[in-house]
Amino acid sequence: MDDSNKAPAPRDQPASVTTLDCIAPPSSCRVVGISAPGMVRKRLLALGFVPGSVIEAVRAAPLGDPIEYRIRGYCISLRKEDARFISVTTGGA
């Protein structure tokens, strides 16, 4: 039997890469990388925003900024200007 005409097996929806400031509560994502300069990058890494970490957007402030995120068992609020430096995937979290 010739299997060359068979369609590939269906997979999960591919993960799309975006930045953390585009993730609206309530949803979750996974960190891909950080593009922040110098001290901001060090601070974000120290707070646990390392590649592979799962982040849950919990809630937003009344005017939409900052947003509260849950990462590695604790909650942190980030302004959108800082969250813009964090690249995340939305499909595989």
Beta-carbon contacts of 26 under 8 Å, excluding residues fewer than 6 positions away, are 56, 57, 58, 59
Running DSSP on this structure, what letter comes out for residue 42? H
Q: How many domains does the chain have?
A: 1
Task: Label the pairing between strands 86-89 and 17-19.
Answer: antiparallel
User: What pTM was estimated for this model as a whole?
Assistant: 0.79
Task: Please count the other Cβ atoms lying within 10 Å of the Cβ belonging to residue 75.
Answer: 11
Q: Is residue 22 a part of any domain in this protein? A: yes
**3 state DSSP class of 3:** coil
- Look up the CATH number of the domain holding residue 78: 2.30.30.90
Q: Is residue 6 a part of any domain in this protein? A: no
Q: Cis peptide before 14, with omega less than 30 degrees from 0? A: no
Domain limits at 62?
17-89
Least confident range of 31-35, 77-81, 89-93: 89-93
Residue 89: pLDDT band (50, 70, 90) is: very high
Q: Is residue 64 a part of any domain in this protein? A: yes
